[in-house]
Amino acid sequence: MAHIGVTAPVLELAGVGHAYGACTVLSGIDLHLPAGRIHALVGPSGCGKTTLLHLVAGLLPLQDGAIRNGFARSACMFQQPRLLPWKSALDNIALGLKARGVPRAARHAQARDQARRFGLDDTALAQYPQQLSGGMQSRVALARALVLSPDLLLLDEAFSALDVGLKAELYRQLLAEQARRPMAVLMITHDLMEAVRLAHAVWVMAPEPGRIATGFRFDDAPAQRTDAQVYARTAGLLDDATVRASFGLDAPAPAAPLALAAVGGLRC
Amino acid sequence: MIGIVRQWLVGLPAYLWGGWGAIASLLLLLASWEFASQWLDPLALPDPRTVLATLHGLLTDGNAWSELGVTGRRALSGFALSLGVGSALGMLAGLSMTAAMMARPWVTVLVGTPPIGWLVLAMLWFGASDGTPVFTVFVACFPPIFIGAMQGVRTLDGQLREMAQAFALPPLQRLFDLYLPHVLSYLFPAWITALGVSWKVVVMAELLATADGVGAALAVTRSQLDTAGSLAWIVAVVGSLLAVEYLLLEPVKREVERWRTLA
Ligand SMILES: Nc1ncnc2c1ncn2[C@@H]1O[C@H](COP(=O)(O)OP(=O)(O)OP(=O)(O)O)[C@@H](O)[C@H]1O
Ligand SMILES: [Mg+2]
């Protein structure tokens, strides 16, 4: 694991809460995300994951608690692609670079580079978003965030519209990018296996109000994890009573639950 | 910009070819006119050939071009002023809920005041100068453009606005990459409506307030009971409006909104 110096930036949330009108959707969220780490947020639909991500991105005013974002450059991928319908895929990917003042030729070259790695060819890049498939749109949206080389990457169900092959490829890309530089990633997902495969820590949220019910640490390097390990850990996670309660599943099977610790998971 | 001009030139033949339906329906109108003129006194409704011959005469002796030029200049100046001021103010008003709410009654007042009322005021303020028709056109064109721009900004998807904020788009980029492309689909129809208004209002203003232009020429034909001459001028005005709208605004609109039709 990379050594994290004392000056390395962190994202720190303390007692964060949020209410839409009279409806409290988040309360008492604490989170500590250092550089070079991937944290996954899982939880039932509507428990406030997207709200939390928007608070971190500064898109919602902070009502309660404190957020300290020490990262200089963050980029965000939304749950919906949110591409500009009047711009080609290429121009959409280059949008953030344009905002930073990167000249046209350079930003197009960078955007094309990023797109190729995500399996988007020149035909797709010349098209408007409505002409692309859902999976292509979400890759464009992911490329638009990653091309900025962020220190903090916020992902809201980034991989949910992709087939298994593409998912595996993009996981590899994300981990490779992360190996190159200490990028912190906060990712929301509905896929426990995805969380267990990629993340150093998985936070399980419970609804009404949205709060962190429990968390698990996996200290090995994600790139090194085998499929068998991932399956075992996912099964262990799904056997956990708190996790099952958060998702409204029945109580765990009476058969001895697979000890998560045995496959490298630590409750935190 | 160069790209748009080139696209316009390249797309023109196909566009004109696609206009056969419109031309056929215009010819049908001409035929009904011809039919009606056979039953009516030529003083009430001369047949189209007489009118077109009169128009041809007006155009060949060179007089009509200068009158049309004067009228076109006034209409387009008022229209351009309205286009600039109305679009800008409308977009600004759309950005703020308060401004939008405050602007509504003003626009209702503007819409409700008859153009002839503005014309009388303009005659008092500007006399027989160009200012009278230009001002009247400006005021008459302003409301639809202002409302179009305001609606356009207000209907922009909040999710895209949030995205622009997350990617820290600077103000100018926000204007050109986010707001304008969306607002244009509200602005173009408003501009086309306003262009039609400008043509009508300018002729009315000239008829009452100036010594030259198509409106003044119409005043002369009216006093001479020259129905064919009046109709010739009307055809000239309508024809020039059709030309400006379908040869200029409509193709530009198609090019700017290409993303919409491709989807
Ligand atoms: N703009 C809003 N105004 C009012 N209520 C909202 C708003 N956005 C979200 N909510 C409510 O807040 C709650 C949490 O929403 P949020 O989008 O954060 O859920 P989520 O955990 O991301 O769900 P999902 O997994 O389905 O994406 C929901 O009950 C939702 O109805
Ligand atoms: Mg969500």
Write out pLDDT tens, residues B193-232.
Answer: 898 889 889 999 988 888 888 888 888 888 888 888 888 8
Residue with tokens 């996912």: A234
Q: Give pTM, 2 decimals.
A: 0.77
For residue B40, how many C-alpha atoms fall within 13 Å in the half-sphere facing its CB? Answer: 14
Does the pLDDT value for residue A229 go beyond 70? yes
Touching check for A99 and chain B: CB below 8 Å?
A: yes
State whether residue B211 is helix, strand or coil: coil
Touching check for A216 and chain B: CB below 8 Å?
A: no
Helix (H) or strand (E) holding A186: strand A184-188
Helix (H) or strand (E) holding A211: strand A211-218
The pLDDT of residue A2: 45
Q: What residues are neighbours of ligand 2 (ion), with CB under 5 Å?
A: A 50, 79
The pLDDT of residue B99: 81
Residues 6 or more apart in contact with residue A207 via CB below 8 angstroms: A43, A44, A46, A47, A48, A246
Ligand nearest to the CA of A211: 1
Lowest mean pLDDT among A117-131, A142-156, B245-259: B245-259
The pLDDT of residue A40: 93
Please state which of the four CATH numbers 2.30.42.10, 3.40.50.2300, 1.10.3720.10, 2.40.10.410 is assigned to the domain occupying B48-262. 1.10.3720.10
A23/A255: higher pLDDT: A23
State whether residue B135 is helix, strand or coil: helix
Give me ligand 2 centre to Cα A47, in Å: 8
Residue with tokens 């965030």: A145
| Beta-bridge partners for A203 | A41, A215
Tokens read off for A202: 């998985």
Does the pLDDT value for residue A4 go beyond 60? no
State whether residue A68 is helix, strand or coil: strand
Chain A positions touching B163 (Cβ under 8 A) are: 78, 82
Chain B positions touching A128 (Cβ under 8 A) are: 259, 262-263
The pLDDT of residue B218: 87
Ligand nearest to the CA of A210: 1
The pLDDT of residue A261: 66
Burial group, residue A176, by CB count within 10 angstroms (0-12, 13-18, 19+): exposed
Lowest mean pLDDT among A3-7, A54-58, B102-106, B127-131: A3-7
Note the pLDDT tens digit of each residue in B138-149.
999 999 999 899
The pLDDT of residue A254: 54
Q: Which residues line ligand 1 (CB under 6 A)?
A: A 20, 25, 45-51, 79
**DSSP line for A100-141:** TT--HHHHHHHHHHHHHHTT--HHHHHS-GGGS-HHHHHHHH
Count interface pairs A-B at CB distance under 8 A.
56
Chain A positions touching B166 (Cβ under 8 A) are: 57-59, 75-76, 78
Does the pLDDT value for residue A94 go beyond 90? yes
pLDDT band at B77, cuts 50/70/90?
very high
pLDDT band at A255, cuts 50/70/90?
low
The pLDDT of residue A262: 66
State whether residue A156 is helix, strand or coil: strand
The pLDDT of residue A187: 94
Lowest mean pLDDT among A19-33, A76-90, A108-122, B7-21: B7-21
Tokens read off for A106: 């350079």
Ligand nearest to the CA of A205: 1
The pLDDT of residue A1: 42
Distance CA B217, CA B68 (A): 10
Residues 6 or more apart in contact with residue B145 via CB below 8 angstroms: B82, B83, B86, B87, B90, B187, B190, B191, B194
Nearest CA to ligand 1 atom 5: A20
In the structure, how many helices (H) and strands (E) does chain B have? 14, 0
Determine whether the interchain pair A59/B165 forms a contact, defined as Cβ–Cβ distance below 8 Å: yes
For residue A14, how many C-alpha atoms fall within 13 Å in the half-sphere facing its CB? Answer: 5
Distance CA B183, CA B73 (A): 27
Among residues A59, A70, A49, A247, the alpha carbon closest in space to that of A155 is found at A49
Burial group, residue B120, by CB count within 10 angstroms (0-12, 13-18, 19+): middle
Note the pLDDT tens digit of each residue in B22-63.
788 888 988 898 888 888 887 788 888 888 888 888 888 877
Give me ligand 2 centre to Cα A25, in Å: 12
Among residues B148, B154, B153, B152, the alpha carbon closest in space to that of B107 is found at B148
State whether residue A163 is helix, strand or coil: coil
CB A156 within 8 A of CB A188: yes
Note the pLDDT tens digit of each residue in B222-250.
888 888 888 888 888 888 888 888 888 77
- Return the domain boundaries, chain B: 48-262
Tell how strand A184-188 and strand A38-42 pair up: parallel
pLDDT band at A259, cuts 50/70/90?
low
State whether residue B77 is helix, strand or coil: helix
Does the pLDDT value for residue A27 go beyond 50? yes
Distance CA A140, CA A90 (A): 8
Looking at residues B123-145, what average pLDDT do you find? 90
Longest dimension (CA), chain B: 71
Looking at residues B85-112, what average pLDDT do you find? 86
Touching check for B163 and chain A: CB below 8 Å?
A: yes
Quick one: which atom of ligand 1 is closest to the CA of A47?
A: 21
Does the pLDDT value for residue A257 go beyond 60? no
Longest dimension (CA), chain A: 62
State whether residue B151 is helix, strand or coil: helix
